[in-house]
């Protein structure tokens, strides 16, 4: 049940019009910003909500049951608020959002209208529009363990336990030359076998994308030349000389876990579980071990 302060409820009952909406966004790295559709800044719940951003909220939906509710808010990109660089870098992805109804004449009177996370963000020129996903969206996310032949852990996490800081699984280098938007040759990785970093994580430590990360799609090491292909283009152009750190990838197969990382005891899959081909097989006369005959025969 929504909690409304008695003083604010009295203003609502009286039909006053001194009301505004405020959005408070908190990124996963702890950065917090507030925005309001009022014509001056308001301090709500200890956060200064900026005016003049052109912020506007669309109609929000709310349903009974476990269906996912949602809405959308939009505004202008500005250096002192949401910047285009931050949005392009994904720094606001999955940020927490709280929407407040505020009496702008007495900002300490407010009520929480909705809470959720930032979903899809669209940019058009100097404006943005962001999807607001309600907490029920988490019910759509996979949880728990599945019986699969491949590993359910991510390399380097608490269940996998591979040390990604070990020199054997991590490399540092720099961009030597570009072969495409997300394809480049690299120096400094000559000691690693072909495919070692396929599926790994690359973090730029220098250049325009410093601090940003991407997944490696293909790692090729042929005749001394090392080529890296990323799954997607970086927010800013990659340039020769950009430095990076890249960690080994894992295809989540038992053989890879055992042979590449010597980590078989922490494998979080079921490599011997029968697959679909076993389920649909049928007895064939003359086929050893599967001809319908007695095993003792």
pTM of the full predicted structure?
0.64
pLDDT in tens, 67-84: 445 566 666 655 566 676
Give long-range contacts, CB 8 A cutoff, 24+ apart: 138-147.
139/66, 139/68, 140/68, 145/268, 147/270, 147/273
Taking domain 6-139, whether its CATH number is 2.30.110 is answered by yes
Structural domain 170-249, CATH architecture: Beta Barrel (2.40)
Give CATH 2.40.10.170 domain extents, the chain.
170-249
Residues of the chain scoring pLDDT < 50: 59-68, 297
pLDDT in the model for residue 74: 66
Distance of CA 160 to the CA centre of its chain: 20
* Cβ neighbourhood burial of 76 (10 Å; 0-12, 13-18, 19+): middle
Give CATH 2.30.110 domain extents, the chain.
6-139
The answer to whether 218 and 227 are in contact (CB under 8 A) is yes
pLDDT in the model for residue 99: 87
Q: Which two tokens stand for residue 76?
A: 């202008």
Dihedral pair phi/psi, residue 62, rounded to 5°: -140, 130
Q: Which two tokens stand for residue 126?
A: 């100097």
- d(C-alpha 135, C-alpha 149), whole Å: 32
pLDDT in tens, 172-230: 999 999 999 999 999 999 889 999 999 999 999 999 999 888 999 999 998 778 999 99
Dihedral pair phi/psi, residue 8, rounded to 5°: -70, -35
């Amino acid at each position: 049940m929504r909690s409304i302060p008695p003083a604010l409820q009295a203003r609502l009952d009286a039909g006053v019009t001194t009301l505004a909406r405020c959005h408070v966004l908190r990124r996963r790295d702890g950065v917090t910003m507030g925005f309001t559709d009022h014509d001056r800044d308001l301090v709500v719940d200890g956060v200064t909500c900026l005016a003049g951003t052109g912020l506007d909220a669309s109609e929000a939906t709310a349903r009974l049951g476990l269906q996912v509710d949602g809405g959308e808010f939009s505004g202008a990109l500005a250096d002192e608020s949401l910047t285009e660089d931050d949005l392009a870098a994904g720094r606001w992805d999955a940020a927490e959002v709280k929407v407040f109804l505020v009496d702008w004449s007495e900002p300490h009177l407010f009520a929480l209208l909705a809470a959720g996370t930032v979903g899809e963000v669209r940019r058009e020129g100097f404006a943005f529009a962001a999807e607001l996903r309600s907490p029920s969206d988490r019910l759509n996310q996979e949880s728990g363990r599945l019986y699969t032949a491949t590993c359910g852990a991510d390399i380097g996490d608490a269940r996998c336990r591979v040390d990604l800081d070990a020199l054997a699984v991590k490399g540092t280098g720099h961009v030597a030359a570009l072969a495409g938007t997300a394809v480049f040759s690299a120096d400094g990785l000559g000691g690693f076998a072909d495919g070692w970093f396929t599926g790994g994580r690359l973090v730029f430590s220098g250049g325009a994308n410093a601090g940003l990360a991407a997944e490696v799609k293909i790692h090729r090491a042929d005749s001394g030349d090392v080529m890296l292909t990323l799954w997607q283009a970086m927010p800013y152009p990659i340039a020769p000389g950009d430095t990076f750190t890249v960690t080994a990838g894992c295809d989540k197969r038992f053989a890879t876990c055992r042979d590449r990382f010597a980590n078989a005891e922490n494998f979080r899959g079921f490599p011997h579980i029968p697959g679909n081909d076993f389920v649909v097989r049928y007895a064939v006369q003359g086929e050893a071990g599967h001809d319908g005959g007695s095993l003792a025969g």
